[in-house]
Structure 1
Amino acid sequence: MEKRLAPAVNGRGAQSGAVPDRFGLATRETDGDWRDYMETLDGPPVKLRTTVTEERPKTILSFNRSPDIAFDRSINAYRGCEHGCIYCFARPTHAYHDLSPGLDFETKLYAKPDAARLLRETLAKPKYRPRPIAMGTNTDPYQPIERRYRITRQVLEVCLDARHPVTITTKSDRVLDDLDLLVAMAEQQLVAVAISVTTFDPKLSGKLEPRAAAPAKRLAALGKLVQAGVPAHCSIAPIIPAITDEFMEEIVARAAALGVRSAGWIPLRLPHEVAPLFREWLSVHFPERGDKVMSIVRSIRGGRDNDPDFFTRMKPSGVWADLFRARFRIACKRAGIGKERFELDCSQFRPPEIGGQMRLF
């Protein structure tokens, strides 16, 4: 992998913002502004501002038929994610809107203020049948702008009112802002929370996931969830060969010491535009190690940068994959931790009241 001479884009995961042509979208033209001219000479500015656009979708609940994931419906209160995790498999979704999966994905965000109302209307339909709703499947429900918009909290309030089960995946200790709701839901078997921890090296985390909560804060949040009686899962995701895999055993041990009894790992996935973005990130931050990293990635993905096929995309193969599995299994055995299946209760569901009002009793 050739060494990149350009400076890193500080505070962001992606190092460029090229718009892909995968959907036949025309490349955006400059508007004649002097800043556009400067970018042609010097590249994008090192410091980028985050913008948030409010959008008003007609529906908020998304359904899927993927046979290798545990949920069939999800809610994404936001589009794009300021955490800026370079490995995020959701980055290509920005390409659908003629935006870059790179810098645009983490700087040009979209919020859905009507999410709670739309969910309430959906749950109130006579033909609706409950199954756990997954939050955090595409972009993080507790990314920094949640503190301003509180859309995730509003959605949880609707679910608590309707006694509808929810699963949450996040990289932020901001989840504790809603601990009151989570405790109330946990008491009725309506919620389970997974927090992802990738490394304990703050410098590495700052390059890999620059605006996510510090790993130590995420681990502490897991402990507080356990203490409060909220089902909590430690997700070591993703495992990046020769970058983060060295932290696997320590993460398992420290999570177990906090009382966490469920853990799992997910290998790095590089769908569509994520692969070239990740390669570029390697050339900036680990130029001497890039070829080794990608060689191992391809070895566990059948010789490709990414395996998009159902089932195998979640189950890498080969010697390196077997090694990671063995290390994880041994670490869990030593720590006395497993992978619990949190059974959520759909039987308590009651269609919510319409009109924006919650039940008083």
Structure 2
Amino acid sequence: MSHEKPNQKIAGRGSSLRIVSRFESVSRVDDEEVIDDPEYMESLGAKVNTEYFEDSSSSVVSENSSPDIPFRYSLNPYRGCSHGCSYCYARPTHEYLGFGPGLDFESRIVIKPNAAQLFRNWLVEGHRKGREVDPVMMSGVTDCYQTCEKQFELTRQCLEVARDFRYPVSLITKNALIRRDLDLIEELASMNLVSVAISVTSLDQSLTRIMEPRTSAPAARLDAIRQIAATGCPVMVMVAPIIPGINEQEIPGVLKAAAEAGATRAGYVSLRLPLTVEPVFLDWLLQHFPDRKEKVVERIRTMRDGKMNSSAFGERMTGNGVWADQTRQLMTTFCKRYGLDCGVSYGKPTERPTLRTDLFRVVESDGRVQRELF
């Protein structure tokens, strides 16, 4: 696919690349929620509505064995993500559904309407089989607080199950919609059953508007950190991804602002471009930063042994070489300055919060707590 000239910009979308889907839609919703500036959205031109498809999967929790990921289990109530981040590593997963990794990924969202019940079933089954209690990450792939969560409330329903079963969970998002669930987070935090990570890639809204077109403004994310920290829940700020030549200079400012808001930990991920993420990102880069394209690509290759991506464990999240070392040192230096426990990559903070696992209980569908025989 040629990228010598940019494709037409699509209002509120990270990708302008459409791959025809073989599936038919079951519903169509006119999605108007984008940051906070309708006039800005109007100025971008063409518009693509968001479609929703129901997923009839019989499970909602996935198990992970990657040494680069800090959690064993993850719960994803949605597939695809309307946030529209061109660099999202999860874009290729949409191809398993017969959708494309470009516009389809952010405008054709698959929802799991029975997510809470499936989570409940998983917990009951695990108890019956004697499975070890291990925290569940929400989400491990796409953002559990993306735009449609406001409508479907699947994440909130799953949090209610975690609360009832007293099961430890972690949340990661870049959307301030998480503030809606402060009541549940506070209740879980009182039992040391929850931790939260908020992604902040930049403090410049003019940049986040094009990097992450349907996410909350930086100020709203910092406010989310502030309010969540006030509940007693440990909060981590994720500077992810760091795109060379685009937002790396923001690391000190983001860490300072997050620390002042109440974050106690920090981590980062260097830009990853697995499989079909690469053409989506390069098209975005050509649209928004044509003058920096060659520099950015050169830096990426320098950090990835001459390639655009590396899937090797131990380096895929951070890269290697002089630029990777400088990024790591920048994170380490400013985390120390602002009193943040710092990880060299996603999932490797020096001090991860230890959530309780001894409070787990099984709750019957009628609300009764299941009693143990012995």
User: Measured at CA, do residues 144 and 2 of structure 1 come closer, stay the same or move farther in structure 2, by a change above 3 Å?
Assistant: closer
- Work out the CA distance in 2 between the residues paired with 1:252 and 1:142: 22
SS at match of 2:308: coil
* Whole-angstrom distance in 1 between the partners of 2:321 and 2:209: 30
Please name the residue that 2:166 is paired with: 163
- Match of residue 228, structure 1, among 228, 231, 236: 231
Q: Which residue of 1 aligns with 2:307?
A: 304
Offset of residue 48 of structure 1: 0.3
Equivalent position of 1:38 in the other structure? none
Q: Which residue of 2 aligns with 1:327?
A: 330
Corresponding residue for residue 50 of structure 1: 50
1:185 to 2:188 alignment: yes
1:73 Cα offset (Å): 1.0
The one of 256, 259, 265 aligned to 2:259: 256
Say if 1:55 and 1:112, in contact at 8 Å, map to a contact too.
Answer: yes
Alignment of 1:132-151 (within 5 A): 132-151=135-154
Q: Structure 2: how far apart are the matches of 1:266 and 1:329? A: 13
Match of 1:11 in 2: 12
Partner AA of 1:15 in structure 2 = S
1:203-242 to 2 correspondence within 5 Å?
A: 203-242=206-245
Q: Which amino acid aligns with 2:360?
A: F
Match of 1:337 among 333, 337, 340: 340
Which residue identity is paired with 2:193?
Answer: L
C-alpha contact (below 8 Å) 1:76/1:136 kept by paired residues: yes
Q: 1:180 to 1:154 in 2, by over 3 A?
A: same
SS in 2 for 1:250: helix
How much does 1:204 deviate? 1.3
1:5 CA displacement? 5.0
Which stretches of structure 1, 4 residues or more, deviate above 4 A after TM superposition?
27-30
Percent identity between the aligned chains?
Answer: 41
TM-score when scaled to structure 1? 0.89
Are residue 107 (structure 1) and residue 118 (structure 2) matched? no
**Alignment-derived partner of residue 350 in structure 1:** 361
User: Is this contact kept in 2: 1:3–1:284, CA < 8 A?
Assistant: no
Q: Distance in 1 between matches of 2:132 and 2:115?
A: 19
Task: State the match for 1:40 in structure 2.
Answer: none
Please list every run of 5 or more consecutive structure 1 residues that lacks an aligned counterpart in the other structure: 20-26, 31-44
Q: CA RMSD in A?
A: 2.1
Q: In structure 1, how many angstroms separate the alpha carbons of the residues matched to 2:366 and 2:275?
A: 40
* Paired residue secondary structure (2:341): coil
TM-score (norm 2): 0.86
Partner of 2:280: 277
Candidates 131, 134, 137, aligned match of 1:131: 134
> In the TM superposition, what is the alpha-carbon distance from 1:147 to its structure 2 partner?
1.0
Q: Is the 8 A contact 1:263 1:338 kept in 2?
A: yes
Q: Following the alignment from structure 1 to structure 2, what is the Cα–Cα distance between the partners of residues 56 and 140? A: 20
User: 1:338 Cα deviation (Å)?
Assistant: 1.7
**Aligned partner letter, 1:112:** K
Whole-angstrom distance in 2 between the partners of 1:7 and 1:106: 16
Q: Secondary structure at the match of 2:316?
A: helix
